[in-house]
A and B are shown apart, each in its own frame.
Chain A
Amino acid sequence: MVKVSMLVLMLMLQPAVRAEGITVQKSEGDVKVRQGVTEVWNTVVAGDVLRPHDTMRTGPDGSAVLLVHLNAGGAAKRITLPAQVIVDMSDIRNLTQEELMLKITMEKVRASSSEWKNDELHIPNAAVVHGEDRAVRDPATENDRQVGQLLLNGARVLFDNGFYATTVLRSMEVFRMYPVLGAMFDHRLLLAQAMERANLRGEALAEYSSLSRMEGLTSSQQQVVQGRMDVLRAERH
């Protein structure tokens, strides 16, 4: 028992394992890659090597198989990307629980800037306000929901391949950028399940609890959520 606990602890404290190399083993139909912060999507073919800052997108008739080496010299993991997904190569990695918790916590406290709270600069504003109300003239257009859906499909691929930490982070980011998608049961359930698998039991319970309060849940959905909440609560005691 002690040995098992030590092993679990060592695994938790290991630094993030990032893919050492990602090779496109197979590519069919519409499969494209966007490099870094560029806006251009380029066609990808089998044999291409991808880098952590690359993003892969498959079209309605596209699919790809990636060969990922998570550790230098280790066995390669095969990841299949079905049609209609977007996956960031930097998400194909395992984070430690500590790294994941820190990332989530940082997102919550980013605005605190506690060091400066009692030391505020007075910033004057030289901007001049005049003319018509342009908010009425040029209303903002929300992000394309289809893209958000492709990103969540990608998060599902991460989940299915055991990358639970990055599934959590990716889902949370998509919900911030596409609030409509964050209000959908299936997407929220994926986040809660990923939290649970990433050993964030408290966060998972809070997410299931929030899900249970969603309006219009079917009885089977309520049953799924309640079942997971019962399991997590039982584990706490």
Chain B
Amino acid sequence: MATARVSKSLRYFVTPDDPAVLRYSRDVLLEHRDSLANVPAFLERFAKARVLINSFAGKLLYVSDPKLSADFVQYPSETLQLRGGDCDDMTVCFTSLLSSIGLSTAFVDVVPPDHPDKSHIYLLCDTGVEPRYGTSIAGNPKRYVVRRNAAGVETVWIPLETTVAARGFDEAWTNGAQEYFDDVEVGLGLVKGWVHIVDVN
């Protein structure tokens, strides 16, 4: 469970330079080296995010209900070792893994105004794909977000709901995209101030 203020401090639990994180992501990329070599260059980041998340998803033992967990956040190395955690732990861990291979990420921090007890956090990942090639990522533009990266270039970002990551990348993406559309586009959460996007790197 996160709040706008907490998501900013969560950022300090993102440790892409932790040896355990680096070792894990490097091993996964090496393991999938051949399949990644066949991916078109402009889709490489997207493909790497997919294999990285699918790989860790296959190893997850549990994802706990955030309501049952205390305000305690695991470092990514702990989540990798324990193979589980709650919403915050998973978001921090996946953010660290994606960041360790050079992908930009951002937290989407949601505090519904009518249900502040149902606050939640998920993430956005920069695929590096230009918007004019967006259909290479998905035919339905509601599955991605066009936003500027740290370099000021507009790229395609995909929302990922990490609490369902145990069911794989596609499920995490579908759930994340639906949540983002409902929160930001339909609910106007960003404009109304109950959704915050915190860029991590």
Contact = CB atoms under 8 A, between A and B. Distances in A.
Contacts of B139: 39
A102 interface: yes
| Interface of chain B, main secondary structure | helix
B68 interface: no
| Interface of chain A, main secondary structure | loop
A174 B164 CA distance: 31
22 contacts: A16-B188, A53-B142, A90-B181, A95-B188, A106-B190, A110-B148, A111-B152, A113-B150, A121-B14, A121-B201, A123-B100, A123-B102, A124-B100, A126-B26, A128-B30, A131-B37, A134-B37, A139-B40, A140-B42, A141-B136, A143-B132, A178-B132
Nearest to B40: A138
Given A18-B186, A39-B140, A177 B134 contact: yes
B78 interface: no
B191 interface: yes
Given A53-B186, A141-B133, A37 B148 contact: no
B178 A36 contact: yes
Interface string B133-154: 1111011111100111111101
Contacts of A133: 41
Classify chain B: how many residues form its interface, as a range. 35 or more
Interface string B183-195: 0011010110000
Given A36-B181, A53-B178, A140 B191 contact: no
Contacts of A18: 186
Contact of B17 (A120, A122, A131): A122
Interface in A98-122: 99, 102-103, 106, 110-111, 113, 115-116, 120-122
A34 interface: yes
Interface of A: 16, 18, 34, 36-39, 52-53, 55, 90, 95, 99, 102-103, 106, 110-111, 113, 115-116, 120-128, 131, 133-135, 137-144, 147, 173, 176-179
Contacts of B150: 111, 113
Nearest to B37: A131
A140 B133 contact: yes
B200 interface: yes
Interface string B166-201: 000000001001100110011010110000011111
Contacts of B91: none
B164 to A, nearest CB: 14
Nearest to A40: B140
Interface of B: 8, 11, 14, 16-17, 22, 25-26, 29-30, 37, 39-42, 44, 48, 99-102, 129-136, 138-143, 146-152, 154, 174, 177-178, 181-182, 185-186, 188, 190-191, 197-201
A147 B152 CA distance: 27
Contact of B147 (A36, A102, A110): A110
Q: Which 5 residue pairs across A and B have the least CB separation, nearest first?
A: A111-B148, A138-B40, A134-B41, A125-B102, A37-B177
Given A95-B188, A125-B102, 12 more contacts: A103-B188, A110-B148, A111-B148, A113-B199, A116-B199, A121-B16, A124-B22, A126-B26, A126-B29, A127-B29, A127-B101, A176-B154
Nearest to B152: A111
Contact of B8 (A115, A122, A127): A115
Contacts of B101: 125-127
A134 B130 CA distance: 17
A176 B146 contact: yes
A53 B186 CA distance: 7
A92 to B, nearest CB: 12
Contacts of B136: 140-141
